[in-house]
Amino acid sequence: MTAPVFVADALATADLRDGAFVLDGAEGRHAVSVKRLRPGERVVLTDGRGHWTEGVVRAAEGKDRLVLAEVAEPVEEPVAAPRITVVQALPKGDRGEVAVETMTEVGVDAVVPWQASRCVTQWRDERGQKALAKWRATAREAGKQSRRVRFPEIAEAATTKQVAALLATADLAVVLHEDRDWPSVPLATAELPADGDIVLVVGPEGGVSPEELTLFAEAGAAAHRLGRSVLRTSTAGTAAAALLLARTGRWS
């Protein structure tokens, strides 16, 4: 099994010339009191932005202090290509965190929360900031659990016009949509770029509205479908991203 991952925010600027590092605070507490790491076990440290290194546990002190030895200078994991961004319409309840968690696990690079016209959930003022903070915390924890060293970026909530502008800059712009009155093609047969940016839009429970589809089409996006079944908004992005990651070779 691969070594557990812990976040060290200042890793890129840490002085590691003597090969020692102390992990404390919330991450140290998790390592010592939850994971119960012992001397000799290996761990991975990352800042979540691609910088990472490995070390060996030398001692666990108290309840929240892990002393590491043999810590090498950090290296940076290359940015994966093509980059996959999922524009996720706001689901009801905790399904937004479920979507972020599973998309992080499969390897999505960025998630953009979208206030679609048919969204039941509304991110306004303090409630919106709390919800965004939950999505970001979910991405961080899921990134650690899935042994990633470059966590997905969770952007500020976007309007439909902002989503259209993002689609206009993409090398491949996709809207997941299945409707007999709106032509779509299987995502499994779409021509994919070798690099650049893929932007994938996942609509809300009520679907993407005709007005939104028209605006996105004008921005260069095409409607695609996954298969015969209709997925929930909280699972569609993960399924589509997995398909793209396999087809682009990022899973090979």
Nearest to 21 by CA among 50, 49, 47: 47
Per-residue pLDDT of the chain (252 residues; tens, 9 = 90+): 689 999 998 887 888 888 899 999 999 999 999 999 999 999 999 999 999 999 999 999 999 999 999 998 999 999 999 999 999 999 998 999 999 999 999 999 999 999 999 999 999 889 899 999 999 999 999 999 999 999 999 999 999 999 999 999 999 999 998 776 666 889 999 999 999 999 999 999 989 999 999 999 999 999 999 988 888 999 999 999 999 999 999 998
Contact 193, 171 (CB under 8 A): yes
Q: Which residues contact 181 (CB under 8 A, 6 or more apart)?
A: none
Tokens 């500020």 correspond to 156
DSSP assigned state of 158: B
Q: What is the pTM of this model?
A: 0.93
* Token digits of residue 24: 């404390």
Q: What is the pLDDT of residue 1?
A: 61
Contact 103, 152 (CB under 8 A): yes
Nearest to 135 by CA among 118, 158, 112: 112
Question: Does residue 204 have a cis bond before it (omega within 30 degrees)?
Answer: no
Which stretches does DSSP call E strand in the chain? 5-7, 21-23, 42-46, 51-61, 65-69, 75-76, 83-89, 110-114, 153-154, 172-176, 185-186, 197-202, 222-225
Nearest to 244 by CA among 195, 175, 178, 188: 188
Return phi, psi of residue 174, to 5°: -130, 135
Q: What is the pLDDT of residue 13?
A: 81
Q: What is the pLDDT of residue 204?
A: 94
Q: What is the pLDDT of residue 129?
A: 95
> How far, in Å, are 52, 74, 109, 245 from residue 150 at the CA level?
9, 13, 8, 16
Q: What is the pLDDT of residue 180?
A: 63
Mean of the per-residue pLDDT values for the chain? 93
